[in-house]
Each structure stands twice: as C-alpha cells, then as structure tokens.
Amino acid sequence: MRSLPVFPDLRSFTDWCAAKGQLLRIVDPVSLQQQTTAVADRVLRAGGPVLRFDHVTGPAGRVAMPLLANLFGTRERVAAGLGLTLDQIPELGAFLAALRTPAPVAGMRDALSRWPHLQAALNTRAKVVRSAEVQEVVQTAPDMGRIPVPTCWPGDAGPLITWPVVLTRPYGSAQEDTAAYNAGVYRAQVIGHDRLIMRWLAHRGGAGHHRTWERAGQPMPVALALGCDPALLLGAALPLPEQVSELTFSGVLRGARTPLVAAKTVPLMVPANAEIILEGWVHPGETAPEGPFGDHTGYYNSVDQFPVLRLSAITHRRDPVYLTTHTGRPPDEPSVIGEVFNELALPVFRQQIPELRDLWLPPAACSYRIAILSIDKRYPGQARRVMLALWGMLAQFSYTKMVIVVDADINPRDWNDVAWAMATRMDPSRDVTILDRTPMDYLDFASPEPGLAGKIGIDATNKIGPETTRDWGEVMAQAPEAEAFAEQLLARLGQRR
C-alpha cells in the first residue's frame, strides 16, 4: 500500500519535499510579528510549497533558529506525510478499519494475506532508545526567546506555539507505560522565558490526565515535542477514541515503530526524532488568563483560565528548526488536513453506520460544525437514527451543530445537489430535529451559554411508509436511448461536453 518512503523525522520529509520542488527557502528578513503568518497564509491559499524562513526577527532582533511553515498546506502533502498518494488514502482507511475490527480467519491463505495487519500491530509498540538526536543539546535554564515562536494575528495576546505534540500520562501510571500516554495538539501561549499556558479543552485527553493529577494534589509532568515526524504530527491531530494512544497509532500510520527516549527532567518518554522537546511541570491550581488568539473559526476566541506549565528543560538537535502553523477562517492547514482525514475515516465510520454511503465535513464549516451524510435508506426514521449515531460516535462530533442526511442519489459534497434535496424532500415541520443544551466547544460564541448549545438535524431524504401520507414524487430522468442519441449527435457536431 505504501508507495513513498518512511519519513522517520521532520527533516527527511522536508528533504523529500525539496527534491519534489515543494520547499521554498526565504532568506529575506521576515518578522515573527504577523509577517511570517501573512506570507504562509498567501502561499497556502495558492496551493504553494513548504516554507523555510532562514532569517526571522523578533522583538530582541534576529532569532538564529530557522522557521518552517505550511508543511501540510496541500492535500497531496498530507497524503505524502503518510507515505501515500492522495488516491491511496481510501485504501489506508479500509486497512485501518479492518485492523480495528478484524474478521475471523477463513483459512491458511486468508491468514497469510493478513500479514500486513500483523506487521501493523507490531508497529504499534513504541521502540525505546537510550540516546537521541533531540537531546544533543540540553538546556536546564530554559529560554523560550531562542525559539522563533510567531505572533500570528494583530489581536493575539502574544507568541503562540501552534504545532506541539503535547505528551501527558494519567496519575499513577508508569513512565514506561506509553500505551497510557496521550499525545495531542494543544496550543501553548508563551508568557515568559520559562512559562507557557496550556490550552487543553475539557474533553481532550490531556485535560483528563490533568484532572487526575489535580485530584491527587501532585504536579503533573508535561512534554511538548516540536517538529515531530509527519505520522506523529498527523496521528496526534486525529480525533481518536480515548482508548487509542496516538503514539501507538502513529506507528501504524508510519509503517514503523515510534522511537522514544526518556526525558531529561520529567518522568516521561518523548519522541526521539523530534527537533525540540520542552519539558516541565503543571502545578496544582496554577492557572493564567489565556488569549485572545485568532482561531480556526475565523474569530478571536475569548480569554479563559488554563494551566501554567513551568519549564524545567529544553532539549534539541544541534541545528534545530521550529515548525509552526496558523489557524484562521478556512482554508488553513487544519482544514486541509481535515479534508484528507475525512477520506481516511470513512471506512471506520461505515463500521458504525453500515448504511452510510458518503460523509462530507465541509472545510468552510470549520471541518466539523456541519456534516452531510448520504445513506442507503431502507426504513422510516432511519435518517434520524443516523443523525443521533453520528453525534454520539466521537467526542469531536458532539460539537457538530448541523447534520443533514440525504439519499444515496445525492452527492453530499455538491452544495447544489444538497440544496435541491433540502428544497424538494424536506418539510421543516416534520423533518427537522432540534436538540437543546448539548455539548459545544466554548469557541462557539453563537451558543447561548459557553459549552452548551443546540443542534439541528435535517432529514432531506425521500419519505417512505408512515413518514408521509401523500404520494411521493418521481425523480425525472431522460431515457438512456435519448441521452445516447444526444451524446452521439453533439459529438459529431463538435459539441461534446
């Protein structure tokens, strides 16, 4: 299945991008105050290359460390980060679905055909190493001023780390029990040379681990891995079920085990092939006001209290690069990644909703706030059952405001098709389901209350059985013979379309 090489670290991937003409080095001076973001945003919208800024300047002058941006600015590069071409993503999705719920073995030939599944299972085990390039330089007097962290938008509160893989474990777990680890992408505001604010929302794995340490009244060890390999970056960004470790899952995506090394000052294992590791402690009850920052909604989020991380060490390679991204009204990197993940997750979604034909999470709707599903409809009430199943499938879908269900003859990715189905197959008094006081992320300021909001489900399917008392309309379609005649005639006249 994998058609591209394994990328064990960030620089092997950027070297590959450079060889494909997909990396642009910028040697002109560029300020970390919004300028790097403005350049990256324009390049992303044009479908452009990875950017490497070699001369970045901050408030205190030039920062020696180079800056990488727009790593996953195209769907093709997201797929490449997984070792695939874009058209191979559905195949990987089917493989992951089979790995998740394998069917009984039907014989020796079937067993041998499943060797890739066994190999993938072996790759879920992390590989512990004794030394690592990410620890070539160890600073026990941390200084965030040496890392080129941008301030992305004019209204931002300050520099923001946007692409960290944040590693935590629950209280009482062993350092070596990496299957219990959470690896999530949570932004971190820089508020001093050795202090960050960790913004993990309540439903995220990192926040859940933090609550276990708070209840025990103990400081919590945290590590931020900056500049990880593509598989770990993408695995950490996926909304996985809570019982699935991102560290183990990334081994499946990578096709190779995740190498980990013991951190220097905290009891955690950290990615050995990262560019930079920030180590530190979150102490019970210590919080600070985080934000405002521009977010993926296209608005600045409100200020709220989040835990403070006090750094105990920074380790890095001898010649590290710092990876950043920015979020804003789509398109942005998260929305590009979301489009690929939509395809990757479809086979898994079909395991939960067997009648599902297709699902589309429009990037313009923040990649999760609106979902459009096409189904093979067979019985009354099926569309409503599918809505409720989606809302309950993953924590991320509990933040989906609107679910539209259409028939299999409607393309959910075509707004014109969806609009036609809604206009002709939906009655607002019968086919709309409203839920109130359901979970919602606090970034949604349109909600009446922070964290609680309504949801709407729209059944735009053909109505059957007791769903209607009227004769249902028949969809118009031209006779196949007439269509064939028209095609042949117009082709002879040079009007083929």
So which residues are the catalytic ones? 295
How many Å apart are CA 174 and CA 128, to the nearest integer? 14
DSSP E strand boundaries for 118-187:
127-128, 137-139, 160-161, 164-168, 182-184
> What SS3 state is found at 377?
coil
Cis peptide before 412 (omega within 30 of 0): no
Taking a C-beta distance cutoff of 8 angstroms, is the pair 93, 347 a contact? yes
How many Å apart are CA 208 and CA 481, to the nearest integer? 62
Side-chain-side CA neighbours of 324 within 13 Å: the count stands at: 29
Amino acid at 85: T
Find residue 68's DSSP bridge partners.
52, 323
Return the DSSP state at 365. G
How many Å apart are CA 360 and CA 404, to the nearest integer? 10
- Name, in order, each residue with C-beta under 8 angstroms of 175's C-beta and a sequence gap of 6 or more: 169, 262, 267, 268, 269
Taking a C-beta distance cutoff of 8 angstroms, is the pair 161, 327 a contact? no
Taking a C-beta distance cutoff of 8 angstroms, is the pair 303, 290 a contact? yes
How many Å apart are CA 446 and CA 440, to the nearest integer? 10
Q: Please state the φ and ψ torsions of residue 408, each to the nearest 5 degrees.
A: -65, -20
Return the DSSP state at 96. H
Instruction: Tokens for 182, please give them.
Output: 């959470």
How many Å apart are CA 264 and CA 270, to the nearest integer? 10
